Amino acid sequence: MGPDQNRRSFVKAGVAGLAGAAAAAGSAGASPLHTGEGSGAAPAPPNPIYRISLAQWAINMSFKQKGGTRDNLEFARIARQNGYDAVEYVNQFFMDKATDTAYLAEMKRIADGEGIRNVLIMIDGEGRIGDPDRPARDKAVQGHFKWIDAAAALGCHAVRLNAFGGPGSWIEQLGYTGDGYSRVVDYGARNDINVIIENHGGLSSDPYWLVDLMHAVGRGRAGVLPDFGNFRRGEGNPAEYVDPYEAVRMLMPYQKGLSVKEFAMHPDGERRRVNFERMMRLALDRGFRGYAGVEYGGIERIREAREELEQVRAKLTALYS
């Protein structure tokens, strides 16, 4: 057994111990999973090699919470007007509606009417699931449960959370985060919802740490949402960047979607445009057939972003069908 395997075995045992100690932290009953497809959906290519969704964050400045004029209930229509047939929500834009069943039903009614598939909810603002302080970590875990219920009500397949921890070594943060994350994943499994982590700051931006976390947690409903533009090594200053193509390659065994960014940092410290054809070939070579979520562009460029991914898909279809 090599050093990596030794470390992973140690961490997995620690996570199991923490999660076992937390098993008594109750959870609410499961919500039903709604899966109806919207009527009037635009015809997609037969058996597409990957699908394209619009992440709400791509147009975040358009919404009232960011100083714009748009309301969350307009999002599905905006997506349809720009040629999308699937969306990824951000909870920041309906933060007080997680348990409002009438509001969630209206969101789903609008999406269905537009022929839009609800893919996932990105969860922010619910605390650090890897907080070293046990009561704070417990509170963060509980805070995520209502969004899993909301995702089930909307017919999503997943929620995205942030693997934020706190002060501590690589191993310590794996242990604390593994405990909190395992409990959220277990609640998601009871609701048929995947619980996936985006490389989104701190050690979660390190693909090596994320791989260790996936090994430590070891649950089928766990996974990652690789973001092309958010990779680095460790938490040092100045930042040490990772090759984004290599980072995505490392995470493909655990992916349950992709978060498409236009630019990424490279090990030489340069910010360069992502080669989408190269990135999608890399993903498809490793079995990816899910949603590539556009998370850049603003309201002015989201149509252009979709069209570029469609062009890549058309070029690669014969190779991967």
Q: What is the pTM for the complete model shown?
A: 0.87
What pLDDT score was predicted for residue 17? 55
Binned at pLDDT 50, 70 and 90, residue 46 comes out as confident
pLDDT of residue 106 exceeding 60: yes
303 contact partners, CB below 8 Å, separation of at least 6:
82, 83
Higher pLDDT: 238 or 286? It is 286
Task: Tell me the C-alpha to C-alpha distance, in Å, between residue 69 and each of 63, 106, 165.
Answer: 6, 20, 34
What pLDDT score was predicted for residue 165? 84
Give the right CATH number for 3-23+50-320 from 3.20.20.150, 3.30.450.20, 3.20.20.70, 3.40.640.10. Answer: 3.20.20.150
Strand, coil or helix: what is 289? coil
Task: Please give the average per-residue pLDDT across 294-316, as a whole number.
Answer: 98
pLDDT of residue 14 exceeding 80: no
Report pLDDT digits (tens) over 22-37: 444 333 333 322 233 3
Rg from Cα positions in the chain = 19
Report pLDDT digits (tens) over 205-217: 999 999 999 999 9
Task: Please give the average per-residue pLDDT across 280-299, as a whole number.
Answer: 98
Phi-psi region of 115 (alpha: psi -120 to 50; beta: other; left: phi over 0): left
What pLDDT score was predicted for residue 43? 54
Task: Please give the average per-residue pLDDT across 160-186, as a whole number.
Answer: 95
Report pLDDT digits (tens) over 234-244: 998 889 999 99
Average per-residue pLDDT for the chain: 90
What is the C-alpha separation between 144 and 141, in angstroms, rounded? 6
What pLDDT score was predicted for residue 41? 36
Report whether 260 contacts 296 (CB < 8 A).
Answer: yes
Report domain extents, the chain: 3-23+50-320
> What is the arrangement of strands in the sheet containing 86-90, beginning at the earlier edge strand?
222-225, 194-198, 158-161, 117-122, 86-90, 51-55, 291-294, 258-260
